[in-house]
Amino acid sequence: MLIAFCCFSALITTAQTPAQIIAELKAVNSKVANTPCNTGEGMLISNKAMNIFLSNKVSSYLSDNGDLSLYKNYVNLNAAEGSIAINHNFHQPVDSDDWVRSFMVMGARANVANAYAARFSNKYFDNRLGFELHQTWMGKPITHYNQCGNQKQAMDAQRAVMVHNFAAEISRRSADFERTLDSIKPAEVPGQNLQAAKAKLRQDFYAALRLEYLQKFSATQSEVLVNSENYTLVTDNWTSVGIYLPIIPQKFEVSSDVNTDAEKRYNYPLEISINHTRFWESTKFGRIFFSLSAKAFYNNSVQSGALYNADITGPETTDGINAVAVNEGNRFIGDYKNYITPVAAAKLVYIPYDSHVGISFNIEKNFGTYHALNSILGIPIVLIDKNGVPAINFEAQLLFSDMNNSIKGSQLPYNKTAVGLTVGIPFSKIVY
């Protein structure tokens, strides 16, 4: 490992001249340009440029924590659940030109107020706070284009122009910097060896120059591919495994009937999940996300809507028993249980070509004690910034709970439809 590190450090150190920076740009371009085109699929831009391309296309839909973001940080707000989640991507970029293969996301999720529209129950405060971990593995992106036609030729020509423009800029900035170094006098750096000081300045300058132009080359390629639409289809896929670890328990006051003293009940809503998503970006039909997921979480009778939500502090009746106002207050009536609920779900999102408004449909089937069929019909709206990059994603939702009428004799049969709103905000830099 020490030998490999020394070799890598030596490679980076020697690549600190204008000629070597330009040669590195040409090598990246040559790898893309020499990709065989007879199959009609392959590289039109470099791998890191495709990371930037996908980060903007994929982040156009960011409705919940299961959706992918290639930004360093992002926030999800869910009005229906009253929750906010803040996430950080720990991916560290590699020095070579490669696509993002895997990364870990860690975040915190809190249910700050679910009084707006609780999904599985009727207006109670459900305080939650916990940490989330997601490990994601991404497939290799595939770009489709007309077979050895004008699309690849146009992109090859565009990249060649970029390389020559950047080479001229690098040479000009290098010459200006060297002239500046030559003008420094020993008296201006007292107490230092002038040649050693210049060597350190030169090393730092060219290291920064190399990173700047490699990044410029990637970003410019992505921008040209987006604006020129010199492709027919881009596909990718990713798989994520996640876990939610609660810090504080859910707390409920439950009694078996209105004449029984309430007891405190607790539940730790631990969750584990796995999700696989396929992505298509077409210059003809638009953008499609299709996800299949499985989840298991520690559920309870209150959260699943199996108990009455009652207020028994009303005036006494003629027989001396307090009156009961059902579906009011924070006391629950019925047989309380904690149990594990497995879930299978699917989600389809479609955003038409050249549109900022789409449609989504999510359906989930629960199994076991709570076996309701739930669905969400959504309208995602993507807002972009001045550079045309998605800045924020809203999704207006219509939530349908217990569509198969699995829960009888509770509040859900007449409170099964709710309106929701999610907000996804990617920010900070792109991981690539």
Q: Which pair of tokens denotes residue 361?
A: 């449909």
Residues 24-56 pLDDT 10s: 999 999 999 998 877 888 889 999 999 999 998
Average pLDDT score, the chain: 86
Can you read off the two tokens belonging to residue 427? 């920010």
**Distance between CA atoms of 308 and 90, rounded to whole angstroms?**
43
Region 206-217 average pLDDT: 95
User: What are the residue ranges spanned by the domains of the chain?
Assistant: 2-34+146-228, 71-144+232-430
d(CA 432, CA 49): 8
CATH number for the domain whose boundaries are 71-144+232-430: 2.40.160.40
Measured distance CA(118)–CA(268) in Å, rounded: 18
Q: Has residue 107 got a pLDDT over 70?
A: yes
Six-digit token string for 267: 């539940």
Question: Residue 312 has what pLDDT?
Answer: 60
Q: What is the DSSP letter of 99?
A: -
pLDDT classification of 175: cutoffs 50, 70, 90:
very high
Residue 262 to residue 363: CA distance in whole angstroms: 36
* Confidence (pLDDT) at 10: 41
> Using the 8-state DSSP alphabet, how is residue 359 labeled?
E
Encoded tokens for 164: 């020559």
Q: Report whether 391 contacts 380 (CB < 8 A).
A: no
Report residue 4's pLDDT band, with 50, 70 and 90 as the boundaries.
very low
Is the separation of the CB atoms in 80 and 421 below 8 Å?
Answer: yes
Cα 252 to chain center, whole Å?
33
Nearest to 399 by CA among 424, 381, 373: 373
The string of pLDDT tens digits covering residues 378-418 is: 999 999 888 788 889 999 999 998 888 887 655 554 568 88
Burial class of residue 395 in the structure, from the number of CB atoms within 10 Å of its CB (0-12 exposed, 13-18 middle, 19+ buried): buried
How large is the average pLDDT for residues 260-271? 88
At 403, list the tokens. Answer: 């569509």
Phi, psi for 64 (deg, rounded to 5) = -145, 180
User: Which of 399, 405, 345 is CA-nearest to residue 371?
Assistant: 405
Give the E-state strand segments of 24-127 in sequence order.
41-42, 71-78, 83-89, 102-111
CA distance 109 to 300: 19
Residues 240, 274 contacting (CB under 8 angstroms)? yes
- Who has greater pLDDT, 75 or 431? 75
Residues 6+ apart with CB under 8 A from 206: 16, 17, 18, 21, 174
